[in-house]
Amino acid sequence: MLVLLYHLGINHFLRQYNSWLTGRVGVDIFFVLSGFLISTLLIKEKINNGQVSLKNFYLRRALRILPVAYLYLAVMIFLNQAFHLGITRNSFLSGFLFLKNLPGDIHDHWTGHFWSLSVEEQFYLFFPLLIIWMDLNKLFILISSVLSFVLLFSLLGVHRVTDGIPLLRSISHVMMYVFWEGPFAILVGCLFSILAYKGFFPAQPIRNNWLPAALFLTLAILIRSPSFRLYSPYLSEFIADMLTGLVIILSIRSTNLFTRLLSSRFFKLMGRLSYSIYIWQVLFIWTPIHLPPILWNLNRNTRFLVTDLLRLAGILLLSALSFHFFEKKFLKIKTHFISRSTLQTAT
């Protein structure tokens, strides 16, 4: 929802109050959630079954991600030919192979959002191997070390401490421009999952935890934005990711005002359609909408709002159609590759 608000142009209104939202806020929250969920499912499968089925894991990921992603790319190939959108062959190829997060001439407005899918697919291509090969203690040490190393060299780089030392400057640049594009936030989610299984957090929910959970989520959104007065590159992102992890922990097994809100029909519907919305939104974000003459006399902000509502209606309608008439068929097949323990956790 945060990503959608950003793409629809909420900053047009926020800038009037000297503030703005970046789409990366929502993406990073998603990455932390994803890292926590996938790690939890894999760890539970290993504990209950003694092993992790890589075949089933990869099939589940493929059936969830590939069908609608490839359908979108197929639609864009047709639209690219029909309306001369300028999408190159390399751009399409990088989309099909989930390489959109790599540098090069493979980016365009219409398929650029595949960068986050690319990060996810690449990360989960290798991460299950660590779950299989390492126990939780060693995995905890590894992830903690990677996070600390990335954070340290990113802070050194952004403050130009490493400029005089070519090797350290190169390391800082890799940390700053590779790991922060998704992997760092996913690893934070993985870390919190491991800590939960190691008993680091209380087994019973903390009383009145809805207030700190809601406060931490709000802070995670605020401090991640460059318009926040105390914003500090990389350090703010790190704190926001950690706060998101704490929100997850505080909300597990809890029934309170905050979790009831997030479990409401509206949020459940948004959850079911979220992937569809993310895939199809670009069709409406980058397509110009011409209002009828009767609306031309409205003030600029009102016209902007009306246009946004029309875009939003189109996004939700197409996403709902995509989910119900296309994706659900593959999700039904996906259930055949879910172990009983994994299904219980997912539920």
pLDDT greater at residue 277 or residue 109: 277
Q: Is the pLDDT of residue 265 over 50?
A: yes
Question: If you average pLDDT over residues 40-62, what whole number do you get?
Answer: 93
Q: Is the pLDDT of residue 253 over 80?
A: no
The whole-model pTM stands at 0.91
* Ramachandran bin of 104, using left for φ above 0, alpha for ψ from -120 to 50, beta for the remaining angles: left
Question: If you average pLDDT over residues 133-147, what whole number do you get?
Answer: 95
Question: If you average pLDDT over residues 86-102, what whole number do you get?
Answer: 94
Q: Rounded to an integer, what distance in angstroms lies between the CA atom of residue 113 and that of residue 275?
A: 12
Give the type of residue at 60: R
Above pLDDT 90, what percent of the chain? Answer: 64
Q: Is the pLDDT of residue 77 over 90?
A: yes
How high is the pLDDT of residue 88?
93
User: What is the residue-wise DSSP string for 167-234?
Assistant: HHHHHHHHIIIIITTTHHHHHHHHHHHHHHHTT-S-SSPPTTTHHHHHHHHHHHHHHTSTTSTT--TT
Structure tokens at 54: 């890589």
Could you tell me if 128 and 54 are in contact, meaning their C-beta atoms sit under 8 angstroms apart?
yes
Q: Rounded to an integer, what distance in angstroms lies between the CA atom of residue 73 and that of residue 71?
A: 5
Could you tell me if 307 and 13 are in contact, meaning their C-beta atoms sit under 8 angstroms apart?
no
Average model confidence (pLDDT) for the chain? 90
Q: What is the pLDDT of residues 190-228, one digit of tens each?
A: 999 999 999 888 767 666 778 888 999 999 999 988 888
Question: If you average pLDDT over residues 52-76, what whole number do you get?
Answer: 95
How high is the pLDDT of residue 206?
66
Q: What is the DSSP letter of 230?
A: T
- Band (134; pLDDT cuts 50, 70, 90): very high
